[in-house]
Amino acid sequence: MLKTMTFAILHFTVAFSITYLLTGSVVIGGAVALIEPTINTVVFYFHEKVWKRIEAKKSAAVAELAA
């Protein structure tokens, strides 16, 4: 979960900075920085869970073949 949180902070910062530079608006930058990274952070968390499940299945298959 710590990895997800640090990713979120980084993502919020990048989203705000780019949007602010493109629009010059703190309000729009703040809105984009809250909405887009929040959704991406949730998606990333579940993406990591899926990959861990895939890796566990691969490990089990390799262990089964070795046995």
DSSP the chain: -HHHHHHHHHHHHHHHHHHHHHH--HHHHHHHHHHHHHHHHHHHHHHHHHHHHHHHHHHHHHHHHH-
Domains contained in the chain, number: 1
pTM of the model: 0.57
Q: Taking 80 as the threshold, does the pLDDT of residue 67 lie above it?
A: no
pLDDT, tens digit (0-9, with 9 covering 90-100), for 12-61: 899 999 999 999 999 999 999 999 878 888 898 999 999 999 999 999 98
- Give the C-alpha distances (Å, rounded to integers) separating 12 from 1, 24, 53, 65, 66: 16, 17, 28, 44, 45
Residues 8, 34 contacting (CB under 8 angstroms): no
Q: Give residue 35's pLDDT.
A: 92
State which residues form the domain around 46.
2-66
